[in-house]
Structure 1
């Protein structure tokens, strides 16, 4: 590749392989070596930049960003890193220069808030800067939130609390704004008001009240909280690289911000950099209000890494604590279900339903009913499956589960087929639902109506043992014996356990009698 000597190609290839495996520390070190040998190479620089941020090597990230800036190909987020660096160093000229770049790029909606916090630091009035931004577009919510924070920082408490209440009302589910305001209030000596801001019986709010820390008013605080807030808003989207940059920059300004660490770990896990993500989570200590969330994040990472037993053990520990909440129980039940321990899962899902009471959703009832059904407790399962459909009559997943479960048992076939027809209308391209409806027609004796649906389901999901077995049975009933055995052979390729034995019998003898699957 251009600029890289032949001798360095091996290091470059190794670095790329390490990055692909999520070994960002190894990748960053490799790219650093290649960049040293080819200091002007833009391709190496961008890879070094991204992996350095993931690995926490800020010095390498700065060096790689400088190469990209000189070449005129720097991604817009390099200006965020530069701005955070300048604020941390109290370098006014560099902060202003970086802010100009932010204002001229796709992250321009951050500029009014950052400019206002700089003005606050310099003893100027920040509010005209927010007013002139017009509170439009992407920046509207951030401006409203930071107006409240700046009023608190300016010790205009009545106005600040009023503005805070308005901002929280516009986004009542946000924990970040309330936490940011509470830490700032604590830092300005208003601990009682801070606790009021975090009022509520929710375990999250209780943990935040118990773990209040002081926030020091200024540009470092405002910048770090704005970047963390944006990272939280991006959570769950395909923006891990940007989220890593945002949280790394926030932590440069506030190294003790466990909320930023939690978001950073999640973004790293999204890049499959699990080892580095675990290292970040390890820095969140038991006294932190975000400790339980860090443990929960670890459970998810273990599951993603293919270690479900370890994930379950950790989830069990969280669920059996004295202060375990519904989310802890839900996580444990999900882990049991994933491992096929449906009887145990049903007991924990029942605890979830009991705990949430009248607020139980169709998903709660579907999970409980599904676990009971799979563990052989059909009569106990049926009321919950019916409740799920009652609460969500337009949810194809609930309709399909109740309909198919009854078809399998030969119960209430007319009602079951009606449920499956409704599910199919809602989701006509879902192979599983198409199979369920076709199987419902088959079990009702209408093979002619069943066959085209089962064929379509098999085309949509050719590796499904169940769908292919259903199709084979329908072919056999229709007198198409060669095609039946072909479908059964396809099913046998993917079948396991009891189904494997049943298919072996069908391939040898045909559909000579009603089997467990029929």
Structure 2
């Protein structure tokens, strides 16, 4: 079980921390003075659901001003303020929360974070003593308490306090934090021992590699530090901070510490836990944790990048861009942030400007792999396939084209070639992608279906799509590919079975429902076919499927023109077996 799942498993409330709960019996807003408090509360709920944190914080704060004795509203207010990065205002509301509900653990965590930020370590320890270690907040608070003990000069006690937390199955996670605690406390031997254990468990996470290389290099172990970076890069992984560190270590220069203060170390804890929740899709919890991390260590440029990604995932691109633009010009992550701003311009509807900015970035820095990759993707989305393929070719020239991670550049260049009717080049790229990543479902599906579509290598093509399904059994689009391949080969009964599976997984997809309708018609289930076509017609928002379905609804499948992608496949010589 990974870190986020372990933490979530500790409390049924973890997933409900940030979404303001609906009003329940005994918890109501007094409307005697008018609807303003209730209206603000409901507006705050809606804003928080959309991760529009400035609006959520504003609305909930307005509601709290009128409902200062209502714990439901105060809880919503302090959480929204934290999510918006207003930690000190959040702590003020959290103190009121504890007056109304003394056991609110999230409020205690926010208040203790403020105390630790201000080096009031004894106060932080007292606040955190009230938390147990069997809840999400309690586990997080226990690690924060250990950092407060480090700040209070109680290093041995801090390390011992983590033993109980480790009983929850978190020792692999904690060993990394023990390492950086030891480094901050000046126990270099213990730091080296702990970080060596950490990298054995997780050798390909940038923070672990970064900390390992710095701790060992500062002990004079430059070669071992460099070996870890080389192993990281051999997996096709890269990170601007790691690349800069590698250059520094190659010159035998001792680097700065991974974290140089209690505050930066505690921020790293919040950041690590926040990332774990983000990977599980728990965006709201992740956002509050990352904001607490940013409050404790505003110099850590990785944290605003992650917060920006969380906003991007919720469609809040303007909030994300404000964070990206706020990075210092000399930050190692500024080029990455600039690329994300351009990508967001496309998401907000200004693709020409996004392409222009990315082209300018690449002209200035021809080796900026992030900019090249995003430019290629935007050009491909814009159906500029030749330019897109050129961008991916440039990316492969930068990376060398030999690492496992390079499969993606061959794959997307293959798509660009295939869409521009250069299938021999596309086929070559897809096969190269599979050499680098033999079980990649998207590549297996794309090449397998392309072969079926062209009547080539039919047996191998179907095997590839089936293998893709093994790797992604819940991907309705890949299952649809196999069903539609069966349909094109005249194997209509098998097509129905697979297309029904795909429709269950993707019930709102008009293409899949249209395919299922055609298959039903071919096996004589004409009423069901008509129903599926009607569903597909109703769900199509772009109009492409509607145009294809209109003649079917009037006269059945036989009345519809046969399109290129629905025509029976004519097997190439030697490929007849798969069509039978």
Give the TM-score of the pair, scaled to structure 2: 0.73
Deviation at 1:449, TM superposition (A): 4.7
Partner of 1:358: 402
Partner of 1:37: 66
Distance in 2 of aligned mates of 1:193 and 1:391: 33
Give the match's secondary structure for 2:456: coil
Distance in 2 of aligned mates of 1:268 and 1:468: 33
Give the match's secondary structure for 1:94: helix
Deviation at 1:484, TM superposition (A): 7.2
Partner of 1:170: 201
Partner of 1:130: 159
Distance 1:128 1:411, change over 3 A: same
Distance 1:82 1:155, change over 3 A: same
Partner of 1:118: 148
Deviation at 1:39, TM superposition (A): 0.7
Distance in 2 of aligned mates of 1:458 and 1:18: 32
> For residues 67-466 of structure 1, what are the structure 2 equivalents within 5 Å?
67-72=96-101, 75-104=104-133, 105-110=135-140, 113-124=143-154, 126-131=155-160, 133-134=162-163, 135-141=166-172, 143-177=174-208, 179=210, 202=238, 204=240, 205-207=242-244, 217-270=260-313, 272-299=315-342, 301-302=344-345, 305=348, 308-322=351-365, 324-354=367-397, 355-360=399-404, 362-389=407-434, 394-423=439-468, 430-447=475-492, 449-450=494-495, 453-454=498-499, 457=502, 461=506, 466=511
Per mean C-alpha deviation after superposition, the further-off stretch among 53-62 and 105-114 is 105-114
The answer to whether the Cα contact below 8 Å between 2:91 and 2:114 also exists between their aligned partners in 1 is: no
Per mean C-alpha deviation after superposition, the further-off stretch among 478-487 and 381-390 is 478-487
The answer to whether the Cα contact below 8 Å between 1:77 and 1:245 also exists between their aligned partners in 2 is: no
* Cα RMSD, aligned residues only: 4.3
Partner of 1:55: 84
Partner of 1:516: 564
Distance 1:409 1:302, change over 3 A: same
The answer to whether the Cα contact below 8 Å between 2:305 and 2:324 also exists between their aligned partners in 1 is: yes
The answer to whether the Cα contact below 8 Å between 1:28 and 1:55 also exists between their aligned partners in 2 is: yes
Residue 12 (structure 1) aligned with residue 41 (structure 2) = yes
Partner of 2:578: none
Distance 1:75 1:364, change over 3 A: farther
Distance 1:300 1:81, change over 3 A: farther
Distance 1:97 1:324, change over 3 A: same
The answer to whether the Cα contact below 8 Å between 2:150 and 2:158 also exists between their aligned partners in 1 is: no
Distance 1:287 1:456, change over 3 A: closer
Give the match's secondary structure for 1:39: coil
Distance in 2 of aligned mates of 1:19 and 1:170: 36
Distance 1:16 1:383, change over 3 A: same
Distance in 2 of aligned mates of 1:446 and 1:457: 17
Distance in 1 of aligned mates of 2:544 and 2:68: 62
Deviation at 1:287, TM superposition (A): 0.4
Distance 1:138 1:405, change over 3 A: same
The answer to whether the Cα contact below 8 Å between 1:116 and 1:129 also exists between their aligned partners in 2 is: yes
Deviation at 1:38, TM superposition (A): 1.6
Distance in 1 of aligned mates of 2:380 and 2:559: 33
Distance 1:170 1:46, change over 3 A: same
The answer to whether the Cα contact below 8 Å between 1:299 and 1:315 also exists between their aligned partners in 2 is: yes
The answer to whether the Cα contact below 8 Å between 1:396 and 1:423 also exists between their aligned partners in 2 is: yes
Residue 2 (structure 1) aligned with residue 29 (structure 2) = yes
The answer to whether the Cα contact below 8 Å between 1:149 and 1:181 also exists between their aligned partners in 2 is: no
Distance in 2 of aligned mates of 1:345 and 1:420: 26
Give the match's secondary structure for 2:272: helix
Give the match's secondary structure for 1:243: helix
Distance in 2 of aligned mates of 1:106 and 1:512: 58
The answer to whether the Cα contact below 8 Å between 1:407 and 1:416 also exists between their aligned partners in 2 is: yes
Any gaps of 5 or more consecutive residues in structure 1? none
Give the match's secondary structure for 2:130: helix
Distance 1:407 1:249, change over 3 A: closer
Deviation at 1:468, TM superposition (A): 5.6
The answer to whether the Cα contact below 8 Å between 2:413 and 2:426 also exists between their aligned partners in 1 is: yes
Give the TM-score of the pair, scaled to structure 1: 0.80
Distance in 2 of aligned mates of 1:396 and 1:179: 31
Deviation at 1:282, TM superposition (A): 2.6
Deviation at 1:96, TM superposition (A): 2.0
Any gaps of 5 or more consecutive residues in structure 2? 1-27, 249-254, 568-580
Distance 1:274 1:94, change over 3 A: farther
Distance 1:51 1:112, change over 3 A: closer
Give the match's secondary structure for 1:337: helix
Give the match's secondary structure for 2:203: coil
Per mean C-alpha deviation after superposition, the further-off stretch among 486-495 and 66-75 is 486-495
Per mean C-alpha deviation after superposition, the further-off stretch among 414-423 and 369-378 is 414-423
Distance in 2 of aligned mates of 1:184 and 1:421: 47
1:66 to 95, 99, 103: 95
Distance in 1 of aligned mates of 2:350 and 2:546: 27
